[in-house]
């Protein structure tokens, strides 16, 4: 017991087993080994389990490498755009002393085209290169599924969509014996997704974030991993009532990362999940006619999961319209499954099952080909079991070819969206060329317009041209310049927050930390990294003095800019993920979306700056943007104090809350679009 440390716990990936290490052995050579262990006093509990796997340090470095490489891809884009900007600035500086401007523009344009072409190769769906990287992080991301049971009269249907990012699944049969029921299964051997036994008892599950559960150690133990529970239930139970009794008699998981949906041939159904008090919770279908739907939020504790869920709302709405036995058919049940299936390069419905439980028939639809199901008779499959095989092998070749084409079209979306992103990089580089060669702003003017064009691209260049064209408009154009000058840190900050939430472990399932990231990172970018350094350099004031003066203004600017960014950006990000999936270059798409959201944020900022400029408070508009314009900016940059701005601070927080609410509402609407 030399390795025993009471707090040194280990767990399987699905947390089906959690225990304390008592001894570790390293095996250097392949061979046949025999292990045995026992308690000296004859005890049998706690159970001793042999875990075989690779060296844990190797695993650690593997996980770290995957995380670092994925994050580095996004970081490389941000740094790369900065490098492009730096190269442009250097070349322009050299060009002003010698060289031809025509040759310079030609060289820069050629460089942009090379950058764009290097990232716009054709999609390769067959090879899996376009498999979304975000959802490949193992068990930290729940498997998304929609499951429902519906009954009318003597008709009972059970249906489930298996939504994930795999190309295929596995089908196998347990013929049963004199002591256990036979069943057919879908999924993987170590991760059963659906099962149907010979008595008409059906099983499916919905992925959820992890939640603790009291295991009740005094009950009957269950041997095997996490997925052994539904298998043993289907072997031993014939009805939902028996399932509930079985669960109440056996030890349960210490951690649940899903909810289990069972239904039987009588129309009874239950969803088993972790309750808010840590006890196993049972959510029952109403007796008689009706339905029970489960998706990826915990029915007993909606805060555990993705609530609200468009798939849940749509399935409930469609099922509620089935009011008679004649209206409930295989086709109507399949239509509901079709309406809630997903088609995104970041995750898709691998297959759907619709089971007639009294008739013990299972209709299987492969890769959302809802017009070409195969029909499996549970009784016949168990009576004449066939070897385990890929699910796709059960379908005719024509259906497989159609599914292949659908998959290739799905994966091709990512390549097209990546091409748009690289085009955006090209537009930014060309906008910089136009700014530095054609516009030729003065030194202090570059402090305003260089970051604006680097971040906002052609929209920033357009703002520069409008400011120059309408410079005589006075307060209106000054308010416009102030609003545009405020935007760059919030665009960069919101993209950085998205990357942080996606790639930092644990943030995906913690809404409080997500809020901190989405508000704190843009605020910090504006307050510490953008406004004080640039304004202090332009005016000659110190960094600390400028920072303290700009705090109330930056607070208002952050709230108003984020209100517009989130109201527009959140639905667009949801649409982008649905349409394009997630690739290593997703940061480019998020960059474009953040710029579009900044348009709305800029309108809100214009309202504030119109008030501020009218009272003599200016910053960006006080800096010269054309040679020979204003004199020393030291006298003209001023910031409103707290006593003049408190009402705007309160109002900006109210606008921010409204912007978040609009963004969440829009995201819910967009989520169900295909």
* CA 91 to each of CA 11, 84, 102, 105, 186: distance values in angstroms, whole numbers, following the listed order: 56, 11, 13, 10, 61
320-373 pLDDT per residue, tens: 999 999 999 999 999 999 999 988 887 889 999 999 999 999 999 999 899 999
pLDDT at site 2: 45
Where does residue 575 rank: exposed (0-12), middle (13-18), buried (19+ CB within 10 A)? Answer: middle
The H or E element containing residue 152 is: strand 144-152
Nearest in space to 150 (alpha carbons), one of 269, 304, 295, 3: 269
pLDDT at site 80: 53
Domains of the chain: 65-117+409-671 (no CATH), 141-395 (3.60.60.10)
Distance CA 529, CA 492 (A): 11
CA angle 296, 206, 271 (to 5 degrees): 100
pLDDT at site 632: 44
* CA 557 to each of CA 479, 606, 609: distance values in angstroms, whole numbers, following the listed order: 13, 10, 9
Residues 6 or more apart whose CB falls under 8 angstroms from that of 665 comprise none
Distance CA 636, CA 535 (A): 11
Distance CA 12, CA 253 (A): 12
Q: Where are the alpha helices (DSSP H) in 373-487?
A: 378-383, 397-433, 443-456, 458-469, 475-486
Q: Cα 640 from chain centroid?
A: 40
pLDDT at site 10: 58
Q: Contact 364/376 with Cβ under 8 angstroms?
A: yes
Residue 10, phi then psi, degrees to nearest 5: -130, 160
Residue 506, phi then psi, degrees to nearest 5: 95, -25
548-568 pLDDT per residue, tens: 989 999 999 999 999 999 999
Q: Contact 350/143 with Cβ under 8 angstroms?
A: no
Q: Residue 285 has which token pair?
A: 């279908």
Q: Residue 302 has which token pair?
A: 């909606």
- Ramachandran region, residue 608 (left: φ > 0; alpha: ψ -120 to 50; beta: rest): alpha
**Total H helices, total E strands in the chain:** 17, 19
Q: What is the mean pLDDT of the chain?
A: 80
Q: Contact 452/484 with Cβ under 8 angstroms?
A: yes
pLDDT at site 441: 58
420-459 pLDDT per residue, tens: 999 999 999 999 888 887 656 556 677 788 899 999 999 9
Query: Which parts of the chain register pLDDT below 70?
Result: 1-21, 23-24, 26-47, 52-144, 438-444, 472-473, 505-506, 508-509, 624-636, 672, 674
10-34 pLDDT per residue, tens: 565 544 555 666 766 766 555 555 6
Question: Which residues sit opposite 203 in a β-bridge?
Answer: 195, 262
List the strands of the sheet with 183-188, edge to edge. 280-284, 269-274, 255-263, 202-212, 191-197, 183-188, 170-174, 389-390
Q: What is the signed CA dihedral for 30, 17, 146, 366, rounded to 10 degrees?
A: 20
* Beta-sheet pairing, 389-390 with 170-174: antiparallel
* CA 457 to each of CA 59, 92, 567: distance values in angstroms, whole numbers, following the listed order: 42, 18, 21
Nearest in space to 502 (alpha carbons), one of 419, 573, 575: 573
DSSP 439: I
Q: Residue 250 has which token pair?
A: 């056996």
pLDDT at site 170: 93
Distance CA 496, CA 500 (A): 6
Q: How many residues does the structure list for the chain?
A: 674
Q: What is the DSSP string of 274-330?
A: E-TTSSEEEEEPPSSSEEEEE-SEETTEEEEE--S-HHHHHHHHHHTT--SGGG--H
Confidence (pTM): 0.70
CA angle 142, 148, 149 (to 5 degrees): 145
Q: What is the DSSP string of 158-183?
A: EEEEEEES-S--EEEEE---SSS--E
Q: Residue 525 has which token pair?
A: 């970018």
Whole-angstrom distance between the N-terminal and C-terminal Cα of the chain?
Answer: 57
pLDDT at site 607: 94
């Amino acid at each position: 017991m030399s390795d025993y440390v009471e707090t040194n716990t280990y767990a399987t990936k699905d947390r089906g087993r959690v225990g304390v290490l008592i001894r570790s052995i390293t095996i250097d050579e392949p061979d046949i080994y025999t292990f045995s262990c026992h308690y000296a006093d004859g005890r049998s509990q706690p159970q001793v389990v042999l875990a075989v796997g690779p060296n844990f340090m190797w695993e650690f470095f593997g996980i770290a490498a995957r995380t670092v490489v994925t994050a580095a891809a996004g970081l490389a884009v941000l740094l790369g755009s900065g490098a492009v900007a730096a190269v442009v600035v250097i070349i322009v500086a050299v060009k002003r002393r010698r060289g031809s401007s025509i040759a310079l523009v030609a060289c820069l344009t050629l460089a942009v085209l090379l950058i764009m072409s290097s990232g716009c190769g054709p999609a390769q769906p067959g090879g899996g290169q376009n498999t979304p990287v975000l959802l490949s992080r193992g068990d930290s991301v729940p498997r998304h599924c929609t499951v429902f049971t519906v009954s009318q009269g003597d008709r009972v249907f059970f249906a489930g969509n298996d939504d994930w990012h795999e190309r295929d699944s596995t089908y196998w049969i347990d013929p049963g014996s004199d002591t256990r029921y036979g069943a057919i299964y879908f999924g993987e051997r170590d991760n059963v997704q659906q099962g149907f036994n010979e008595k008409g008892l059906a099983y499916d599950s919905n992925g959820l974030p992890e939640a603790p559960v009291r295991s009740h150690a005094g009950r009957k133990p269950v041997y095997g991993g996490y997925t052994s529970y539904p298998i043993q239930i289907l072997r031993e139970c014939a009805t939902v009532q028996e399932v509930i009794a079985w669960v109440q008699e056996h030890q349960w998981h210490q951690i649940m990362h899903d909810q289990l949906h069972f239904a039987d041939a009588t129309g009874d159904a239950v969803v088993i999940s972790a309750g808010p008090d840590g006890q196993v919770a049972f959510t029952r279908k109403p007796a008689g006619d009706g339905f029970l739907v489960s998706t990826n939020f915990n029915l007993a504790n909606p805060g555990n999961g993705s609530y609200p869920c468009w798939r849940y709302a749509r399935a409930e709405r469609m099922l509620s319209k089935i009011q008679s036995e004649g209206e409930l058919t295989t086709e109507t049940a399949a239509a509901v499954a079709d309406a809630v299936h997903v088609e995104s390069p970041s995750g898709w419905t691998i297959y759907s099952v619709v089971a007639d439980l009294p008739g013990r028939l299972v209709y299987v639809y492969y890769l959302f080909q809802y017009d070409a199901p195969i029909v499996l008779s549970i009784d016949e499959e168990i009576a004449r079991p066939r070897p385990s095989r890929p699910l796709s092998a059960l379908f005719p070749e024509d259906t497989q070819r159609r599914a292949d084409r659908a998959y290739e079209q799905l994966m091709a979306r990512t390549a097209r969206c990546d091409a748009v992103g690289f085009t955006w990089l090209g537009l930014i580089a060309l906008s910089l060329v136009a700014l530095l060669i054609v516009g030729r702003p003065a030194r202090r003017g570059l402090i305003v317009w260089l970051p604006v064009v680097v971040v906002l691209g052609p929209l920033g260049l357009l703002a520069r041209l409008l400011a120059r064209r309408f410079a005589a408009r006075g307060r209106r154009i000054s308010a416009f310049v102030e609003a545009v000058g405020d935007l760059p840190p919030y665009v960069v900050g919101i993209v950085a927050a998205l990357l942080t939430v996606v790639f930092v472990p644990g943030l995906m399932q913690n809404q409080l930390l997500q809020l901190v990231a989405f508000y704190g990172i843009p605020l910090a970018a504006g307050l510490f990294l953008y406004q004080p350094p640039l304004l202090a350099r332009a005016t000659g004031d110190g960094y600390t003095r400028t920072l303290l003066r700009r705090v109330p203004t930056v607070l208002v600017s952050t709230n108003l800019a984020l209100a517009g960014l989130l109201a527009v950006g959140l639905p667009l990000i949801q649409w982008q993920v649905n349409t394009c999936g997630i690739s290593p270059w997703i940061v480019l798409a998020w960059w474009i979306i953040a710029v579009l959201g900044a348009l709305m944020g800029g309108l809100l900022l214009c309202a504030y700056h119109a008030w501020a400029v009218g009272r003599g408070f200016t910053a960006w508009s006080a800096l010269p943007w054309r040679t020979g314009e204003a004199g020393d900016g030291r006298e003209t940059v001023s910031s409103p104090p707290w006593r003049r701005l408190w009402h705007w601070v309160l109002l900006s927080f109210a606008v921010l809350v409204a912007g978040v609410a609009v963004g969440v509402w829009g995201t819910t609407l967009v989520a169900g679009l295909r």
